[in-house]
């Protein structure tokens, strides 16, 4: 298996982040349109069950989209922080620092939710698998609990891309990376116990 050099891996992560931002925006617009059409003037759903199912679908789609960058997100943030420290003040937007801090907090919460889900999944009986309520219900709860933090990434993730662009504009052809890479998380095929370390 060929591994990408750090710069190529970083560029790929940035592309995946841009894709997530686009998909999250589309998911939210689709959800807003659905919600407007299927609620009354006070915001109460016409059909609680159908509304809940559609909300669960929104949450699952958004989690799946973010999952592509979840393992590389910590390194993305570390690099953005490093780049921010090395940009001249005139190139820095005042909101970038707190946006990066917000993304860190959201990522930590998402990691906690994932760990809790993996722990719960290990305790499920052998017949609990996708398509079985005993499996699907707690997974839907994880996705619902993650929605706010995924939304934070959708709202503030652009800051990572903007910082990267500012660095490239200042020094074309050079993208400074954080000097000490954050250890990568195990691949999804690793045993569940290794994924929680």
What's the DSSP call for residue 180? S
Q: Is residue 98 part of a domain?
A: yes
160 lies in which domain range?
6-182
Break the chain down into helix, strand, coil percent, rounded to 5: 70, 0, 25
Residue 118 lies in a domain: yes
* pTM as predicted: 0.82
Quote the number of domains for the chain: 1
Q: Does 197 reside within a domain?
A: no
Instruction: For residue 189, tell me if it sits in a domain.
Output: no
Q: Which residues contact 83 (CB under 8 A, 6 or more apart)?
A: 163, 164, 166, 167, 176
pLDDT score of 176: 60
Whether residue 153 lies inside any domain: the answer is yes
The crossing angle, in degrees rounded to 10, of helices 48-70 and 6-37 is 170
pLDDT of res. 83:
93
Pick out the chain residues at pLDDT < 50: 1, 174, 180-197
Q: What is the pLDDT of residue 134?
A: 93
Distance CA 45, CA 51 (A): 6
Residue 1 falls inside a structural domain = no
Domain membership of residue 165 (yes or no) is yes
Closest CA to 167 of 72, 96, 64: 96
Report the pLDDT value the prediction gives residue 42, as an integer from 0 to 100: 81
Q: How far apart are CA 174 and CA 168, in angstroms?
A: 6
Q: What angle do CA 31, 36, 38 make, to 5 degrees?
A: 90
| Beta-carbon contacts of residue 7 (< 8 Å; ≥ 6 apart) | 175, 177
145 within domain boundaries: yes
For 151-192, write each residue's pLDDT tens digit.
999 999 999 999 999 998 876 554 566 554 444 433 333 333
Q: How high is the pLDDT of residue 32?
A: 86
């Amino acid at each position: 298996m060929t591994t990408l050099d750090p710069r190529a891996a970083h560029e790929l992560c940035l592309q995946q982040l841009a894709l997530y931002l686009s998909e999250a925006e589309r998911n939210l617009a689709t959800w807003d349109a659905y919600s407007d059409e299927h609620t009354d003037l006070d915001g109460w759903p016409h059909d609680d069950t159908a509304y809940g199912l559609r909300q669960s679908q929104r949450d699952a789609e958004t989690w799946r989209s973010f999952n592509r960058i979840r393992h590389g997100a910590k390194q993305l943030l570390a690099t953005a922080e490093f780049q921010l420290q090395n940009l001249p003040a005139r190139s820095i937007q005042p909101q970038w620092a707190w946006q990066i801090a917000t993304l860190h907090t959201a990522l930590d919460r998402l990691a906690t939710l994932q760990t809790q889900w993996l722990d719960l999944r290990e305790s499920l009986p052998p017949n609990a698998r996708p398509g079985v309520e005993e499996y699907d219900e707690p997974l839907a709860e994880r996705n619902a609990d993650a929605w706010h933090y995924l939304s934070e990434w959708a709202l503030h993730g652009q800051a990572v891309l903007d910082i990267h662009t500012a660095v490239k504009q200042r020094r074309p052809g050079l993208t400074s990376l954080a000097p000490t890479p954050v250890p990568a998380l195990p691949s999804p095929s690793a045993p569940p116990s290794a994924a929680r370390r």
